[in-house]
Amino acid sequence: MTDSISALAGTDELLVALDFDGTLSPLQDEPMAARMLPEARAALDALVATPRTTVALVSGRSLHDLRVIAEHDETSPVWLAGSHGAEFWQPGAGVQDTAADAVDANLRDTLRAHAERVTAGLEGVFIEPKSFGFGVHTRTASREDAAKANAAVDAIVEAEAPHWRRRTGHNIVEYAFRHEGKDSAVAHLREAVGATGVLFAGDDVTDEDALASLGPSDVGVHIGRRDTHATVSVPDIAAFARLLRRLADERAAGLR
């Protein structure tokens, strides 16, 4: 791990692209309560201050919600990719126009209402609105109620929008009419900033597309313990924050 981080620290133009929930912030029963751990925030600040380094957050959250939980404002130098790469915010330019057309938006709202109706009696299940679809959260539901909710909503989407993309994550199933993934988000960011090396990190199944897409000059990091395409694994957010801080320190020292 040390050799790969040290090699990446010396790349000409570095992109550090990071998932948020479970990577920089602990998972929360109330998703909007998520916030970066202080040590993760400090590591990001150190990377932002390093020359020829771009930091981006790449999340399944809608761009609006990602900005809230990341405490991100118009002066931030951090790039954002929301909705698995279907929405972008660029420093100095702001939000890129990714509004849904009326037909897609109407179907989204209809299916979300149907999902809310069929899960209304299931304790611990709630439907999260998203820019291009919705998510079914079951973190605080019983296993039986979670299975009922997912089966009921799967049936609705299969019947009314079989072309939508379905993703699973930590106690959530997401449905969207946009099919972008975090692999395409990282590719877009790489091209936009001219990165010669990329560090991408995440903790969930939805991060594996991006981890699998990385090249030989990149580093993929998985937070947690499971099979992964990542080349580096760390046990928790605190350990990952230390890895980021070491990358920032080595890069700053090498570019002096």
DSSP 8-state secondary structure symbol assigned to residue 139: T
3-state secondary structure of 18: strand
Phi-psi group of 219: left, alpha or beta (phi > 0 → left; psi -120 to 50 → alpha; rest → beta):
beta
Residues in Cβ contact with 75 at an 8 Å cutoff, skipping those fewer than 6 apart: none
DSSP 8-state secondary structure symbol assigned to residue 83: G
**Is the distance from CB of 84 to CB of 176 less than 8 angstroms?**
yes
Strands, E assignment, the chain: 14-18, 53-58, 79-82, 87-90, 94-95, 126-130, 133-137, 165-169, 172-176, 197-202, 219-223, 232-234
Q: Which of 3, 19, 21, 209 is catalytic?
A: 19
249 is catalytic: no
**Is the distance from CB of 179 to CB of 200 less than 8 angstroms?**
no
Catalytic site positions: 19
